[in-house]
Amino acid sequence: MAKTVEGPHTGASMIKLASPHRQGQLLVLCAGLCFGFLGFFGAKAQQADVKIADLLGLRFLLAGVIMGLISLIVHPNAWRTWPKTQILLALGLGAGGYAVFSMFYFTSLRGLSSSLAVLLLYTYPLFVLILGYFLLNERPHNKQLLSLPLALGGLVMIFWGEIRVESLSAFSFGLGSGFLYALYILLSRKYLRTEWLGPALSVIQMSAGAALLLASELQGGAQIVLTLKLAWLPVLGLTLVCSLLAMGLFQLGLSRLPAWEASLIGMSEPLAAMWIGTLLLNETLSPRQWLGGSLALAGLALLAWASSPSSQRPG
């Protein structure tokens, strides 16, 4: 039987692709694609005329329950050996992190144009970059930093439209959503142990879902049964694709990457949403949006190149 002979560069390429850093980049990129379906399933839910808080609450609660069952089947000992400090951290990240940043974002939409609310949310990579320097001692290389203005500039071109600010509080909520999401990422990167990732993601999502449904109940009554009846398919899509898969893939990628890099690659989410809307919702992109998407892609490609070992060699 003839043996397959590898050239001198084939093995090295395979190692690079299989390295934890490359794995992290691919995992976060796949998470961005899954998160990109938020707009698609959200649009389907809007057609059913259900409350956003109920939709989000069910999304997280169901995803948390499913993740908990999967963890119990795959690693039954993980729940028994899970430290109490990690449990408290997961509860805080869910109810005090994911749920609050989601509520901040949707509250900002009451007094801001949707394009400005999105742009304020996507300030989170800047917050991660700045705060990560102090909290995690992360220092990107100059070549890597060049990708940030390209990606952010591309997003500005994609979402630029009517800029409306009806109140300073709405602007504060929009900026706060980006800041809180950055804190969620930084605290997850610093304190969340990957060996208890399944139980942690389960508790994070269940506590976020419970907090959102409680907020909905206090604001006029949660309509869980009605939401499931009218929008069961969007709820299922949001649960499986945009929560179970997306959050799991992102957390796995985050464990292999600096927080600022995971955040920057996470900006692939609006790019995925843009193309999903074009393909599945028959949305039309303007030339400016096409150019913005190209710039953002160039920023992500530059980051991938600048993060490779060969690009960081002296000379």
* Structural domain count, the chain: 1
pTM metric for this prediction:
0.86
**What's the pLDDT at 294?**
92
Domain contains 15? no
Judge whether 8 lies within some domain: no
Instruction: Determine the 3-state secondary structure of 41 from DSSP.
Output: helix
CA distances from 166 to 67, 82, 109, 162, 170 (A): 40, 46, 10, 12, 7
Any domain includes 54: yes
Is 227 part of any domain? yes
Domain of 268, in residue numbers: 36-304
In a domain, 277, yes or no: yes
Query: 302 phi and psi, to 5 degrees?
Result: -65, -40
User: Along the 315 residues of the chain, how does pLDDT read in single tens digits?
Assistant: 444 444 444 444 444 455 888 899 999 999 999 999 988 898 888 888 888 889 999 999 999 999 999 999 988 888 888 888 889 999 999 999 999 998 899 889 889 888 888 889 999 999 999 999 888 888 887 778 888 888 889 988 988 877 788 889 999 999 999 999 999 999 999 988 777 889 999 999 999 999 999 988 988 888 888 888 888 999 999 999 999 999 999 999 999 999 999 999 999 998 898 888 888 878 888 899 899 999 999 988 888 888 765 555 544
Helix (H) or strand (E) holding 61: helix 52-74
